[in-house]
């Protein structure tokens, strides 16, 4: 089954064609990062207008690249929630019009759920069946949660952030350090040159909810540390920035790793599946893998280009949903 997927929930316009949920035939993304960088974050109205201009050229590109024609496409999928409303409307309008004109079934899928499917893509049906029940972890710019996945299309949230999402915390700390948007990759780069033990930042705790997350206190901690340093010594040195980035990154990533380890020891999971923009972090991947290697629980991260927003995961999730219809 070949599914044509659309993703426009935030600042990436993406079109992909995926066969049977695993085989990615094309995965095209037009990023708006450079456009939004000057505002320090996503400017919703500009994002919607950019999607309008990019969607049809990307669709044409996807068909041209794969050599497929409309008769070869079995279904159309679109991310319809959650996200920026104007951006979603552009993607859903194009996908709905196409489904009507081409007479294809339309799958409206949840963007965050699709992040949980991204680490499965490419594994193939046999390997996928052995992964469940899985501990699903979403670490994106808008969401951070642990979920119990009983199959690719069924999950139940076990715990979540009570304030900022993890990616949002990276973006805010990057903004405090004047690094620009998006912050995650910039923090990771500086952190690789820093001393992660210089600043004793602490991860947030949520009273009575040991697996929930709170990143807003950590971010405020960084804010006041920077304020004090500036008061004492003037503008931050490059080394100060590297040390703050490293200390913050370590605490934020180890908060997820420690909680995942504890949860995995109290529930029975066959695998750990991680998705969302922060899962692109090589630092996070390395340390999570290191922690789980002796435990005999396979850990799966998204393949190249599938951690951050993309349309392959949208087409992939639609395929898995079609199996249970």
Q: Which does 179 bind (CB under 5 to 8 A by kind): Zn ion, ligand KG4, none?
A: none
- What is the three-class DSSP state of 175? helix
Q: Which does 182 bind (CB under 5 to 8 A by kind): Zn ion, ligand KG4, none?
A: ligand KG4
Q: Does the protein bind ligand KG4 through residue 276 (CB under 6 A)?
A: yes
160: tokens are 């979540």
- Using the rule CB under 6 A, which residue among 27, 214, 271, 281 binds ligand KG4? 281
Q: How many helices (H) and strands (E) does the chain have?
A: 11, 10
Helix (H) or strand (E) holding 137: strand 134-139
- Using the rule CB under 6 A, which residue among 278, 306, 311, 314 binds ligand KG4? 278
Q: What is the DSSP letter of 177?
A: T
Q: Which does 14 bind (CB under 5 to 8 A by kind): ligand KG4, Zn ion, none?
A: none
Q: Does the protein bind Zn ion through residue 309 (CB under 5 A)?
A: yes
Burial class (CB in 10 A: 0-12, 13-18, 19+), 173: buried
Closest CB to Zn ion among residues 122, 182: 182
CA dist 244 and 20 (Å) reads: 44
CA dist 108 and 91 (Å) reads: 10
CA dist 187 and 177 (Å) reads: 9
Stretch that binds Zn ion, among 19-27, 202-210, 253-261, 308-316 (CB under 5 A): 308-316
Stretch that binds Zn ion, among 13-21, 171-179, 267-275, 309-317 (CB under 5 A): 309-317
How many residues interact with ligand KG4 (rule CB under 6 A)?
Answer: 20
- Using the rule CB under 6 A, which residue among 184, 194, 302, 316 binds ligand KG4? 184
Beta strands 271-275 and 299-300 are parallel
Closest CB to Zn ion among residues 140, 281: 140
Q: Which does 188 bind (CB under 5 to 8 A by kind): ligand KG4, Zn ion, none?
A: ligand KG4
Q: Which does 281 bind (CB under 5 to 8 A by kind): ligand KG4, Zn ion, none?
A: ligand KG4
Asked whether the beta carbons of 272 and 301 are under 8 A apart, the reply is: no
CA dist 78 and 171 (Å) reads: 27
259: tokens are 């909680």
Residue with tokens 């393949």: 303
Q: Does the protein bind ligand KG4 through residue 114 (CB under 6 A)?
A: no
Burial 292-304 (b: 16+ CB within 10 A, else e): beeeebebbbbee
136: tokens are 């699903």
Stretch that binds Zn ion, among 29-37, 120-128, 140-148, 259-267 (CB under 5 A): 140-148
245: tokens are 């980035």
Q: Does the protein bind Zn ion through residue 11 (CB under 5 A)?
A: no
| Beta carbons within 8 Å of 216's beta carbon, 6+ residues apart | 163, 164, 169, 204
**Minimum distance, C-beta of residue 131 to ligand KG4, in the bound complex (Å):** 21
Q: Does the protein bind Zn ion through residue 168 (CB under 5 A)?
A: no
Closest CB to Zn ion among residues 243, 309: 309
Stretch that binds ligand KG4, among 117-125, 136-144, 206-214, 295-303 (CB under 6 A): 136-144
Q: Does the protein bind ligand KG4 through residue 153 (CB under 6 A)?
A: no
Sites of contact with Zn ion (CB under 5 A): 140, 309
Sites of contact with ligand KG4 (CB under 6 A): 10, 140-142, 167-168, 170-171, 182-185, 188, 276-278, 280-281, 308-309
């Amino acid at each position: 089954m070949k599914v044509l997927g659309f993703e426009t929930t935030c600042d990436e316009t993406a079109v992909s064609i995926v066969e049977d949920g695993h085989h990615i035939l094309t995965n095209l993304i037009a990023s708006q990062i450079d456009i939004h960088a000057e505002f320090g974050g996503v400017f919703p109205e500009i994002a919607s207008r950019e999607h309008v201009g990019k969607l049809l050229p990307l669709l044409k590109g996807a068909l041209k690249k794969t050599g497929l024609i409309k008769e070869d496409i079995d279904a159309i999928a679109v991310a319809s929630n959650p996200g920026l409303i104007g951006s979603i409307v552009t993607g859903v309008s194009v996908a709905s019009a196409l489904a009507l004109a081409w007479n294809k079934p339309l799958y409206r899928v949840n963007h965050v759920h699709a992040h949980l499917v991204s680490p499965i893509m490419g594994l193939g049906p046999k390997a996928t069946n052995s992964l469940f029940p899985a501990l699903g972890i979403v670490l994106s710019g808008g969401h951070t949660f642990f979920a119990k996945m009983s199959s690719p299309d069924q999950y139940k949230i076990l715990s979540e952030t009570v304030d900022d999402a993890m990616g949002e915390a990276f973006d805010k700390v990057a903004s405090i350090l004047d690094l620009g948007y998006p912050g995650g990759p910039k923090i990771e780069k500086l952190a690789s040159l820093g001393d992660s033990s210089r600043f004793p930042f602490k991860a947030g705790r949520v009273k009575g909810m040991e697996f929930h997350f709170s990143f807003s206190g950590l971010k405020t901690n960084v804010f006041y540390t920077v304020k004090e340093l500036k008061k004492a010594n003037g503008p931050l040195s490059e080394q100060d920035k590297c040390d703050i980035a490293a200390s913050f990154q370590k605490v934020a990533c180890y908060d997820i790793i420690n909680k995942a380890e504890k949860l995995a020891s109290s529930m029975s999971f066959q695998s750990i599946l991680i998705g969302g923009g922060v899962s692109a972090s090589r630092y996070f991947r390395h340390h999570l893998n290191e922690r789980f290697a002796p435990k005999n629980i396979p850990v799966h991260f998204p393949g190249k280009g599938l951690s951050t927003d993309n349309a392959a995961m949208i087409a992939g999730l639609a395929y898995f949903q079609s199996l249970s219809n």
